[in-house]
A and B are shown apart, each in its own frame.
Chain A
Amino acid sequence: MAELQLKSVEKTYGNGFKAVHGIDLEVGEGEFMVLVGPSGCAKSTTLRMIAGLETITGGEVRIGDQVVNDLVPGKRGIAMVFQNYALYPHMKVTRNLSFGLRLRREPKDKIARSTAEVSGVLEIEDLLDRLPKQLSGGQAQRVALGRALIKQPEVFLFDEPLSNLDAKLRASMRVRITDLHKRLRDEGRPATVVYVTHDQVEAMTMGDRICVMKDGHIMQVADPVTLYERPANAFVAGFIGMPEMNLVPAVLTRGEEAQITIDAQTITLPGVKARLSEVEGPVTFGVRPQHLEVTRPDAKDALTGTITNLEFMGHEVNLHARVGDANVVCVVPTDKFDTTLGRGDLVGLKPRASHVHLFDTQTGENISLPKSQ
């Protein structure tokens, strides 16, 4: 097994469109790396360059200690699982699984053994004699997974493998894939994985680390907790988390404590000053809906807003309020929710100061990260 390195990798398509702008990424041996980002941010392009299905127009890709830029896909020691399974429609499941091994002219008994082992792990023994069109989506995806697994590749590549499945199946496949990854690690043959998704739940639950991309640039690479608690910039802050983080234009002033002014309302953020870089003036104020406390209007250090909508979600209530020109969302656990509140009422929204973020308005960079980081 091996690690994977991307060094200032670029991709310019034949029509002159530059999809990837020099990205650097290191995926450790046995690490599960998730690439996530909005549609069109070049996740697939990056993955396909690693696979060798797309030429690399700049920089280099290393697998292990080998630069693979000029190697054909079959020689890179990778396996790939595609979004729409891409099973060979004219071959039965057994032959789909063993196609790669047969091309390599492995001995027959070894092929049979590998097929049996893999189909056991993925519970597809009963399907071996079927054609792909006789499989359900979930079964087909397990076969596709088996086709990758059987080759014992150095690096596994996944391109949105679960997005064609329904929500329930997706959840169970998610667990299956992470279990498989752990199992390979325990068996002493750790698998390096690059997993593309646009679903942040998949990203957060599956990834050892997550790489957030936007327009062919990497915005941040970090483990899920760091990504959630210390987003490097406003884009990552807004992309990770449900509902989205509130991002509101504000003016920062620094006296004894840091203070921000939103629409003529000024509140103090105790303890924030210590982690601020030396900036004053207009900033983007960010706070997650979970980190706003509903209080009475005009409470100390709370923003006053008008309720525009209430969404009952079961265990919690999403409260939408208008503060000046901005929409602010606040999540309140149902049992703590004051049921007398209704549309048009005034409420106070008090941010938990330890969890607020301030972003540079121009660059979007987080200027409130603790210095030590």
Chain B
Amino acid sequence: MTAFSDIPQTPSSHDGVPTALQLKLRRRARTSAAIRYTLLIVVGFIMIYPLLWLVGASFKTNQEIFASPWFWPEEPTFQGYVDGWKTSTPYTFATFFINSMQIVIPKVIGTAISCTLVAYGFARFDFPGKKVLFAILIATLLLPDVVTRIPQYLLFRELGWLDTYLPLFAPAWLAGDAFFVFMIIQFLRAIPREMEEAARVDGANTFQTLIYIVVPILTPAIVSVCLFQFMWTMNDFLGPLIYISTVEKYPVSLALKLSIDATEAFNWNSILAMTVLALTPSLVVFFMAQKSFIEGISTGGVKG
């Protein structure tokens, strides 16, 4: 049968032989589908080409990288990966990955816990000053990052946290990302309260209601939050650049830059190879959580 399932299947006439009109309709439907898919494939290819080129080029030799714009390597080689992994420092890339994880994991966990708690409080309880506090929360959302950089730096310096990972993930434990709080609040607002009320009648206290009822229902939203936080933190360059000064503590994002600085003649293929590796965790996590993630950003509530 046809590969495109959305082509309308016109019913054939009773004797099984399609009439002229049916043939015409079918041909027209097929032509329009062909055009549609061709267009989609072309645009899709253009958009994904830089990524394809990146992966392909990481297997090329340094000479070949600039020789041809085509992504397919002529003499595929792992040299880029081998050199890149070793780096020009005394440490291998494994160190940098572990460093990244030491930032990302506490940050993601802290974000999930603190943002859920804060959002639950705002969405479900009335307390004095709620309106003002919520306004402040939204205001921080609008505040450009740059504005807070210097005061934050001074604060963390006073605390003696420079050249540690604390400045990078401690704010996340205090629901520092207003955007995520806001996202979960919006999701919660769309969920009817009756389920929580039923749980309270069943004898659950506020905390049990949160753990047994709210969090499971919120899972898609929380997964989305974790995913965003994971990717943004993996990719964050400025934060580590400001606070981390010892090479041994560098996360992947800084380490990539390091390999550009340190070598006189850039080993482009090893840089590209490490870039590919740096992308992988985000991609893997994304594909693992894809189902929940799409549910989280698209429904924002419960089905009827």
Contacts and interface: CB of A to CB of B under 8 A. Distances in A.
B277 interface: no
Contacts of B126: 14
Interface stretch (B64-72, B161-169, B194-202): B194-202
B213 A53 contact: no
A99 B199 contact: yes
A80 B303 contact: no
Contact of A147 (B200, B202, B303): B202
A16 to B, nearest CB: 14
Interface string A55-76: 0000000000000000011110
Contacts of B212: 88, 99
Given A14-B126, A103-B208, A133-B303, A86 B203 contact: no
A84 B192 contact: yes
A86 B192 CA distance: 9
Q: Please report whether the interface of chain B is mostly helix, strand, loop or mixed according to DSSP.
A: helix
Contacts of B208: 103
A53 B195 CA distance: 12
Given A88-B213, A90-B216, A90-B217, A53 B201 contact: yes
| B126, B201, B216, B303 — most chain A CB neighbours (10 Å) | B201
Interface in A98-124: 99-100, 103-104
B217 A73 contact: no
Contacts of A21: none
Contacts of B199: 88, 99
Given A90-B217, A103-B208, A133-B303, A73 B195 contact: no
Interface of B: 126, 192, 194-195, 197-205, 208, 212-213, 216-217, 219, 302-303
B197 A86 contact: yes
18 contacts: A52-B200, A52-B201, A53-B197, A72-B200, A74-B203, A74-B204, A79-B201, A80-B201, A82-B194, A82-B198, A88-B198, A99-B204, A99-B212, A100-B203, A103-B203, A103-B204, A103-B208, A133-B303
A88 B192 CA distance: 11
A63 B195 CA distance: 24
A100 B192 contact: no
B205 A72 contact: yes
A251 to B, nearest CB: 51
A89 B202 contact: no
A206 interface: no
Contacts of B213: 88
| B192, B194, B205 — most chain A CB neighbours (10 Å) | B194
A80 B196 CA distance: 12
Taking residues whose C-beta sits less than 8 angstroms from the other chain, chain A's interface range is: 20 to 34
Contacts of A14: 126
Nearest to B206: A72
Contact of B202 (A52, A53, A84, A100): A100
B194 A86 contact: yes
B118 to A, nearest CB: 22
B200 A74 contact: yes
Contacts of A103: 202-204, 208
A91 to B, nearest CB: 8
B204 to A, nearest CB: 6
A237 interface: no
Contacts of A78: 201
A237 to B, nearest CB: 35
B203 A51 contact: no
A78 B126 CA distance: 25
A52 B202 CA distance: 12
A95 to B, nearest CB: 10
Given A14-B126, A89-B302, A90-B216, A74 B205 contact: yes
Nearest to A86: B194
Contacts of A147: 198, 202
A151 interface: yes
Interface string A28-70: 0000000000000000000000011100000000000000000
A107 to B, nearest CB: 16
Contacts of B194: 82-84, 86
B217 A89 contact: yes
B197 A82 contact: yes
B116 to A, nearest CB: 16
B205 A89 contact: no
A86 B195 contact: yes
A83 to B, nearest CB: 8
